[in-house]
Amino acid sequence: MPKEKSFLTRVRKALPELHPAERRLGDFVCDFPGELASYSASELAELAHVSKATVSRFVQRLGYSNYEAARRHARAEKQTGSRLFLGTAKRGGIIESVAAHVAQGVANLEATFMAIPDAQIDTAVDAMLEARKVWVIGFRSSHPFATHLQWQLTQVIEHIVAIPQGGQTLGEHLVSVSKRDVVIVLGLRRRVSRMDLMLDQIRRQGARLLYITDEGVPFQPGATWHFRCHSQAPGPLFNHTAVAALCNLLATRAIEKAGTNGRARLRAIETLNDELEEL
């Protein structure tokens, strides 16, 4: 069965064939799709400076039976995390203060870590230190966090790898995942379409799964640990302060709990860096 077209894809494909007023509405919706998800037809008409009849014709041209059907689709797509859905026409000209960004970052940190008990952090870190191998996976906005976390943990965990690398497939790595492994998956918005397939495969192979997501993802019952990071922001981009802090906490706790073997590895790394004049 072919995949259903996204709300924005429908709008963009229809734009060239729309009448002037509908085209103006279509351009407006492309810039601020969150408005359709949030407002009634009359409110949207007022914001876009068109008639309510234009709004009705517009959604019908997109293939929806009525405005409410279009709004439901837009709301569902809003949950997937497109940055376009965060902007609003009413706030389009506002530049948020530095204080607003700082306050939101602090709020995200508090909301995130209030929901993650110390015991869960400790059991996840213990599992990583005892694992045969640790795999770290992240796509799109999650990719830099995955590679950074892998780099931090490699200070005390020898067998750890971030996958997939350029030119590689997931299958080439997942085939080697075993019950003695820990797989860390970062699934921040917007998640790739194959995410659920990948999580199912990890579960089938018996590895312990540490799933790190934003707050919009329902708890994953198949994950051994599921840490949800709040990512609200005053602007059009997600605030990933809590994600960075969680990665730092996991790496720091791993170094603290690695004991004698971990300290020996750290000393050896620093010695080699000095000898190779890399720092």
Of 56, 91, 126, the last residue of a domain is: 91
CA distance 77 to 33: 10
> What tens digit of pLDDT does each residue of 173-231 get?
888 889 999 999 999 887 777 888 889 899 999 999 999 998 878 888 889 999 999 98
Does a cis peptide bond (omega within 30 degrees of 0) precede residue 164? yes
The answer as to whether 1 is a domain residue is no
| Same-domain check for residues 86 and 108 | no
The answer as to whether 58 is a domain residue is yes
Higher pLDDT, 8 or 82: 8
CA distance 202 to 178: 9
| Same-domain check for residues 235 and 262 | yes
- Tell me the average pLDDT across 18-32: 82
| Same-domain check for residues 36 and 144 | no
What pLDDT, on the 0 to 100 scale, is given for residue 84? 45
Q: Order of strands, edge to edge, in the sheet holding 182-187? A: 160-163, 134-138, 182-187, 208-214, 225-229
CATH of the domain at 107: 3.40.50.10490
The answer as to whether 26 is a domain residue is yes
Of 63, 91, 119, the last residue of a domain is: 91
| Same-domain check for residues 87 and 106 | no
Q: Among 77, 81, 173, 78, which Cα is nearest to 133's?
A: 173
| Same-domain check for residues 162 and 247 | yes
For residue 242, is pLDDT > 50?
Answer: yes
| Same-domain check for residues 150 and 215 | yes
- Tell me the average pLDDT across 162-177: 82
For residue 86, is pLDDT > 60?
Answer: no
The answer as to whether 200 is a domain residue is yes
- Supply the DSSP symbol for 209: E
Residue 34 — very low, low, confident or very high, per pLDDT cuts 50/70/90? low
The answer as to whether 211 is a domain residue is yes
CA distance 17 to 104: 42
What pLDDT, on the 0 to 100 scale, is given for residue 85? 45
What pLDDT, on the 0 to 100 scale, is given for residue 80? 53
The answer as to whether 42 is a domain residue is yes
Higher pLDDT, 93 or 248: 248
Determine the length of the chain. Answer: 279
| Same-domain check for residues 47 and 107 | no
For residue 159, is pLDDT > 80?
Answer: yes
What pLDDT, on the 0 to 100 scale, is given for residue 279? 61
Q: What is the largest CA-CA distance in the chain?
A: 74
Torsional sign, CA 126, 155, 186, 203: negative
What pLDDT, on the 0 to 100 scale, is given for residue 179? 92
CA distance 81 to 31: 15
What pLDDT, on the 0 to 100 scale, is given for residue 1? 42
CA distance 212 to 273: 32
Give the DSSP per-residue string, 222-240.
T-SEEEEE----SSSS---
Q: Which residues contact 59 (CB under 8 A, 6 or more apart)?
A: 66, 67, 69, 70
Residue type, 85: F
The answer as to whether 261 is a domain residue is yes
User: Global pTM?
Assistant: 0.68
| Same-domain check for residues 52 and 168 | no
| Same-domain check for residues 211 and 228 | yes
The answer as to whether 2 is a domain residue is no
| Same-domain check for residues 177 and 247 | yes
What pLDDT, on the 0 to 100 scale, is given for residue 212? 95
Q: 216: domain range?
A: 98-275
| Same-domain check for residues 192 and 261 | yes
CA distance 233 to 106: 11
> What tens digit of pLDDT does each residue of 109-131 get?
999 999 999 999 999 999 999 99
Of 90-104, 159-173, 224-238, give the lowest mean pLDDT range. 90-104
Distance separating the N- and C-terminal Cα atoms of the chain: 55
The tokens of 178 are what? 């075993």
| Same-domain check for residues 123 and 86 | no
CA distance 79 to 72: 11
Of 91, 114, 148, the last residue of a domain is: 91
CATH of the domain at 63: 1.10.10.10
Overall number of domains in the chain: 2
